[in-house]
């Protein structure tokens, strides 16, 4: 029997017996005193019962929280004063846990990881989300990346591109907590940025596979669209307005709405990725056109802007361009309309934003205590990756199961590629507004059923079905 029901029945029985004793007794005053004593005892029993039940609930909730080893939080290590906990509701305790989780992360002290006092003062004064520390004529400057929301960094091997990206990442880590800025790093060569793998600012582990890079970029496009929907919902023009609205709601309504974090996408050697899959060029151009308003910043390095990798539209889509020393006359003229970038020394770069070239020649500031900074970040918090950027085996199987010859879209795709005379995943993406995984699976299905030929480098697939029909007509 439920303990609550048993207590109610017990109370009713005692009350009935009490009233019988009261009416049967010759001395009503003594009977009344007996009744009061009985009710006092019952009240004490009920109080002890309620107290024990409440303690049990708190203990169970706290134990579940403490047993969660994956969330990287330190909630309540020890309960010394049960009476203090009894005075608070479980919801209040949970709110305090959330507050403790947010306060747990402490920003690194800039002076502990930047050796030059002048640079410490410069970084401390500026309230950017991210900046690029540079030197010009041995004087420190800080390039604000708020205006440089997309950047193409060109240069030959070992010219200084990676050092510049390191400087930006380190500046982000010095200024921002994980809930304020998130990062995606694509390092297909596994050479430059693996030391950051596991820091709490990452949305997903560092991407080293070109195939995974395509998947994550498509998911980032979806995130961009979702952010626009969220901005429309609250009536905000951009991420800055959105976060101000959320901050006002939290103050006025005592609510706890989460602000929208900025996202920094770092891609090492974009030319290699485009060589793997041409659709990446289309994805990047789409993000460059719309990502700024929703706080997505894109920074890419490349060794070349060769015509078979980059078109003029892609290059001009970047808000700013940096060039270290390069050896290609064509690349130098294409990026800066002159050959100045061919005369640069090691680690020197020229820079232009929105088509205006700066007359200065800069050098990135190389951090001397990067390892210590990264160790500090690791010690502050564990990475909690966003499941929306994961593609597990189940999701992949769902995609493959949905792509089959009986699907109505399959017939439309066959008609489209036969009329077009060629087929590629990027063509299907643009025409049918589907993700890369689905488009690539349709391409495999078309090849399997003899509609298109095998892969031929980076060229679109040849449509065999059309050629066979033409031969029959002849």
Instruction: List pLDDT tens digits, range 411-464.
Output: 888 888 888 888 888 788 778 877 666 777 888 888 878 888 887 766 788 888
In the predicted structure, residue 337 carries a pLDDT above the cut 90: no
In the predicted structure, residue 29 carries a pLDDT above the cut 90: no
Q: How far apart are CA 452 and CA 460, in angstroms?
A: 10
Q: How far apart are CA 115 and CA 138, in angstroms?
A: 15
Residue-wise pLDDT for 419-433, tens only, equals 888 888 878 877 887
Distance in angstroms between the alpha carbons of the first and the last residue of the chain: 88
pLDDT of residue 266: 96
Domain residue limits, the chain:
3-104, 110-389, 393-473
> Around 277, how many Cα atoms within 13 Å sit in the side-chain half-sphere?
23
Residue-wise pLDDT for 149-177, tens only, equals 899 999 888 888 999 999 999 999 998 99
pLDDT of residue 402: 52
CATH 3.40.50.300 fits 110-389, yes or no: yes
As its CATH architecture, domain 393-473 has Orthogonal Bundle (1.10)
Q: What are the phi and psi torsion angles at 422 (to 5°)?
A: -155, 165
What is the pTM (predicted TM-score) of this model?
Answer: 0.62
Work out the average pLDDT over 270-277. 86
């Amino acid at each position: 029997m439920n303990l609550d029901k048993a207590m109610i029945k017990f109370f009713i029985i005692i009350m009935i017996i009490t009233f019988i004793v009261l009416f049967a007794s010759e001395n009503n005053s003594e009977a009344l005193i007996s009744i009061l004593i009985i009710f006092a005892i019952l009240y004490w029993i009920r109080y002890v019962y309620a107290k024990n039940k409440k303690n049990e609930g708190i203990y169970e909730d706290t134990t579940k929280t403490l047993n969660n080893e994956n969330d990287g939080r330190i909630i309540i290590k020890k309960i010394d004063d049960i009476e203090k906990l009894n005075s608070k509701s479980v919801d209040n305790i949970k709110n305090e846990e959330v507050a403790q989780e947010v306060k747990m992360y402490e920003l690194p002290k800039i002076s502990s990881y930047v050796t030059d006092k002048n640079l410490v003062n410069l970084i401390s004064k500026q309230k950017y989300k991210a900046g690029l520390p540079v030197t010009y004529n041995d004087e420190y400057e800080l390039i604000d990346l708020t205006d440089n929301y997309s950047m193409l960094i060109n240069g030959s091997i070992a010219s200084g591109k990676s050092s510049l990206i390191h400087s930006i990442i380190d500046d982000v880590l010095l200024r921002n907590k994980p809930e304020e800025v998130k990062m995606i790093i694509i390092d297909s060569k596994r050479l430059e940025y693996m030391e950051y793998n596991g820091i709490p600012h990452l949305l997903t582990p560092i991407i080293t596979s070109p195939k995974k890079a395509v998947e994550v970029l498509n998911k980032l496009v979806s995130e961009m669209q979702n952010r626009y929907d969220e901005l429309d919902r609250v009536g905000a023009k951009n991420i800055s307005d959105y976060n101000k609205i959320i901050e006002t709601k939290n103050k006025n309504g005592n609510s706890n709405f989460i602000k929208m974090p900025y996202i920094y996408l770092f891609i090492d050697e974009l030319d290699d990725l485009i060589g793997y899959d041409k659709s990446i060029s289309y994805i990047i151009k789409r993000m460059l056109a719309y990502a700024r308003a929703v706080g997505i910043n894109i920074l890419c390095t490349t060794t070349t802007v060769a015509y078979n990798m980059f078109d003029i539209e892609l290059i001009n889509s970047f808000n700013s361009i940096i060039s270290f020393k390069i050896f290609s006359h064509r690349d130098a003229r294409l990026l800066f309309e002159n050959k100045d970038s061919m005369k640069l020394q090691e680690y020197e770069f020229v820079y232009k934003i929105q088509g205006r070239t700066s007359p200065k020649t800069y050098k990135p500031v190389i951090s001397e205590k990067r390892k210590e900074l990264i160790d500090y970040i690791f010690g502050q918090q564990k990475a909690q990756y966003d499941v929306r950027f994961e593609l597990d085996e189940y999701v992949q199987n769902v995609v493959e199961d949905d792509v089959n010859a009986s699907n109505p879209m399959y017939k439309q795709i066959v008609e489209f590629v036969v009329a077009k005379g060629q087929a590629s995943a990027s063509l299907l993406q643009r025409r049918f507004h589907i993700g890369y995984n689905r488009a690539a699976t349709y391409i495999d299905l078309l090849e399997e059923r003899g509609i298109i030929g095998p892969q031929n480098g980076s060229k679109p697939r040849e449509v065999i079905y059309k050629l066979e029909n033409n031969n029959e007509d002849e």
